[in-house]
Amino acid sequence: MREIIIDQNRCNKDGVCAATCPLHIIKIDPESKLPLLNEQQKERCINCGHCLSVCSKDALTLNGVAPEDCLKITTDNSPTKGMVKQLLQSRRSIRAYKGKQVEQSKLSELMDVVNYAPTGRNEQELSWRIVNDKEKMRVLAGYVVDWMKKVIQINQDYAGYYQGLINSWEKGHDNVLRGAPALVVTVAPNDAQIGVEDGSTAISYLELAAPSFDLGTCWAGYFYFASNASQDIKKYLNISKEDKCVGAAMIGYPKYKYYRIPKRKPVEIEWI
């Protein structure tokens, strides 16, 4: 049941809630000038919260959630352009970690932030598996290596990609999960229309938020390729037949500090 409740004593009738609704389902009553949900359309509401969030008068309660239930956006906490540029440009894929275990409370706090990553149609269908145990990380890396061996057996063309990783694993080096202390895996229903994009977006949020928690991350590409093909991995991570992995990253305390931002190719834009 979708509903908006307007506090008439607070509403200044500026119509901004209606103007920002992505589905255009908020109408302005011609007589009272107060906003109201279009009765025929209201079940289309995706609960994105824009109407509540954009109201400067805290006048709109959305689907039972009052403005006072939502954190206030304060300009004091807004990072400057310089800070944001440094954050985004200085993020590096971390492939060497300190032996230190990541505190579960820290990971929980980080995931509360990552949970704000946008999702297509605001579906919010992602769930998470977090492996935070070195022994379990080795088991998982071993499953990835087992999968690589099977892939090569079926198609020798993949030997170029995977044989070196298998050889180094057998010599005791983990170039699959890089000896990271933890792995964050995101999961979506197989039939989610925008699951893979949502997963990638959420992992990007994770990668960008992690340094503020003194943590580093790296996309777990080999694990990701193996995850949906290996029944061992799906079983180990309790991913049902109805669900699939849509993103994964290693995470831990970085062993090394970085001092310079490496160059990238110049941005290529075709202005139309």
Ligand X SMILES: Cc1cc2nc3c(=O)[nH]c(=O)nc-3n(C[C@H](O)[C@H](O)[C@H](O)COP(=O)(O)O)c2cc1C
Region binding ligand SF4 by CB under 6 A among candidate stretches 47-55, 127-135, 147-155, 231-239: 47-55
Q: How far apart are CA 211 and CA 215, in angstroms?
A: 5
Q: Interface with ligand SF4 includes 51 (CB under 6 A)?
A: yes
* Contact pattern for ligand SF4 over residues 59 through 98, marking x by CB under 6 A: ---x------------------------------------
Question: Residue 121 binds what, of ligand X, ligand SF4, none (CB under 5 to 8 Å, by partner type)?
Answer: ligand X
**Residue 100 contacts residue 181 (beta carbons within 8 Å):** yes
CA distance 121 to 171: 47
Of 181, 74, 166, 69, the C-alpha closest to 130 is 181
Taking CB under 6 A as the rule, does residue 189 contact ligand X? no
100 lies in the binding site for ligand X (CB under 6 A): no
Residue 25 interface partner, choices ligand X, ligand SF4, none, CB cut-off 5-8 Å depending on type: ligand SF4
Least gap, CB of 268 to ligand X (angstroms): 22
Element (H, E) at 188: strand 182-189
- CA–CA dist 245, 26 (Å, integer): 36
Binding residue for ligand X, selected from 197, 204, 228, 232, defined by CB under 6 A: 197
What whole-number distance in Å separates Cα of residue 237 and Cα of residue 212? 27
Considering CB under 6 A, how many residues would be counted as binding ligand X?
A: 12
Distance of alpha carbon 115 from the chain centroid = 7
Binding status of residue 204 toward ligand X by CB under 6 A = no
With respect to ligand X, which residue has the nearer C-beta, 42 or 134? 42
Give SS3 for 159: helix
The answer to whether 3 touches 37, Cβ cutoff 8 Å, is yes
Question: Rounded to whole angstroms, how far apart are CA atoms 56 and 187?
Answer: 36
Closer by beta carbon to ligand X, 21 or else 218: 21
Nearer to ligand SF4, 12 or 47 (CB): 47
For the segment 117-146, give every residue that binds ligand X (CB under 6 A): 118-122
Query: Of 11-30, which residues contact ligand SF4 (CB under 6 A)?
Result: 21-23, 25-26
Asked if 48 interacts with ligand X (CB under 6 A), we say: yes
Q: In whole angstroms, what is the distance from residue 166 CA to residue 183 CA? A: 20
Which partner, ligand SF4, ligand X, none, binds residue 197 by CB below 5 to 8 Å per kind? ligand X
Query: Exposed/middle/buried for 113, CB within 10 Å: 0-12, 13-18, 19+?
Result: middle
Q: Which is nearer to ligand SF4, 20 or 163 (CB)?
A: 20
Which residues pair with residue 115 across a beta bridge?
none
